[in-house]
Amino acid sequence: MTTRHPTLPATESWFGQLDELPLDPAAAAASAAAATYERPLPQGVRPSAERAPEPAAHAAAWPTDPLEGRPIDQAAGLRRLFAAHTLRCIPVVSNPGLAFAGALLERLCTGYAERGLRTLVVDAAERARAPRELAGFELAEGVEALSPQVSYLAARGLPLRFVDASGSTAGFLDALAEAAPQHDVLLVHAGAADLARLFARRVQEQQARALRPIVLCDASPESVTHAYAAIKLLALRAGLMAHDLLISAAPGSSRAARVAESVARCADDFLGAVLHDAVCVDPAEAATEPTSDALQRLLHEQLACALPQRVTDSAFGALGPVSALPSLTLRHGARGLRHA
């Protein structure tokens, strides 16, 4: 009798599909054959050469039966499911002087949820919670499901664990894609210095030609000063010369308009940087309220210029017979980003 690991399908994720996968290798081969061929084969008859087409870029990397040429491991179906899946990484610059950063992140998540996209907020800001102990060994263990379309990862200090000899932490982005391949958008909320270490190499290698960080601020002088300092640091260290500004203020605020004009003028005069767009978000809005047209336009453009992060086959390496999944995060109830 096959022993199964317990699962709690509380979210719409590929962890919930583990209960459907056989753990016995012989059963896995039979399951793969049933998924590969269009019609069942009579007992004792070997499969013919007719096979469903597979993506050529990934088929060679899948373990196959040397006699029959078909996938034999139990993660083959999940590889097909995510073979062409690409996450969109969007850097969001934190601001310690901002009182309602959680509300702004929440509105970004609401806008992408309205588009049917699943978002993971990676919070590595100065005021973020410390990560769970197990997240240091397996990032997936630190992901909390807040709703079917929004997840949260407390990641203060985690990017530095992936630093290499050149000072880059770009490997953290690869680890995030492998830990949460079921998501569509990664909102990486961190300080300007951490974001420069994360994205500078991708910019230099021209993998993020159109990347535009979202800079958070409000109308207070301290917050505006920090926003300009963040733009300067990203321009000098990472070569990121275009930005969007998300301002915590009532829509139509004249003060917010002056803030956007001031930041744009300073960035242009002293750095040659460009403030592409500035949008006001009312922090008093409920998370369930529809997002404004201006914010929807910003979110749409951000998807187009985000860093594409492909989900690799290594994301499925943990789905072997001795896997300890599902994640511990399924045991925890949902909480809003305002209180995360």
State pLDDT tens for residues 74-98: 556 655 555 557 899 999 999 998 9
Q: Please report which confidence band the pLDDT of residue 25 belongs to, taking 50, 70 and 90 as the band edges.
A: very low
Residue 261 identity: E
Element (H, E) at 269: helix 254-271
Gap between the Cα atoms of 15 and 128, Å rounded: 26
State yes or no: pLDDT of 67 exceeds 60. no
Contact 126, 303 (CB under 8 A): no
**Mean pLDDT across the stretch 316-337?**
40
Q: Model confidence over 156-195: pLDDT tens digits?
A: 999 999 999 999 999 999 999 989 999 999 999 999 999 9
- pLDDT of 2 > 80? The answer is no
Cα 297 to Cα 119, 217, 289, 294: the distances in Å are 17, 19, 16, 5
Interior angle at CA 193, CA 190 and CA 194, nearest 5: 45
Q: What is the pLDDT of residue 338?
A: 62
pLDDT at 43: 57
pLDDT of residue 250: 87
pLDDT value for 134: 86
Kind of pairing between the strands at 86-93 and 307-310: antiparallel
Q: Which of 40-54, 59-73, 305-319 has the highest mean pLDDT?
A: 305-319
pLDDT of residue 316: 47
Given pLDDT bands bounded at 50, 70 and 90, which one contains residue 50? very low
- Which pLDDT score is estimated for 44? 55
Strand (E) or helix (H) holding 121: strand 119-124
Residue 218 has pLDDT above 70, yes or no: yes
Under 8 Å between Cβ of 112 and 177 = no
At 34 the pLDDT is 45
Count the Cβ atoms, other than its own, within 10 Å of residue 259: 24
**By the 8 A CB rule, do 326 and 332 touch?**
no
- The pair of three-digit structure tokens given for residue 324, joined into one six-digit string: 């300890």
Could you tell me whether strands 214-218 and 150-154 are parallel, antiparallel, or unpaired per DSSP bridges? unpaired
Q: Is the pLDDT of residue 1 over 80?
A: no
Distance CA 135, CA 150 (A): 18
Mean pLDDT, residues 266-276: 96
The per-residue pLDDT for 324 is 36
Q: What is the pLDDT of residue 310?
A: 81
Asked whether the whole model's pTM tops 0.75, one would answer no
**Pair of tokens at residue 97:** 């002087």
Of 51 and 261, the structure prediction assigns the larger pLDDT to 261
Which one-letter amino acid corresponds to residue 123? Answer: D
Q: Flag whether pLDDT at 65 surpasses 90.
A: no
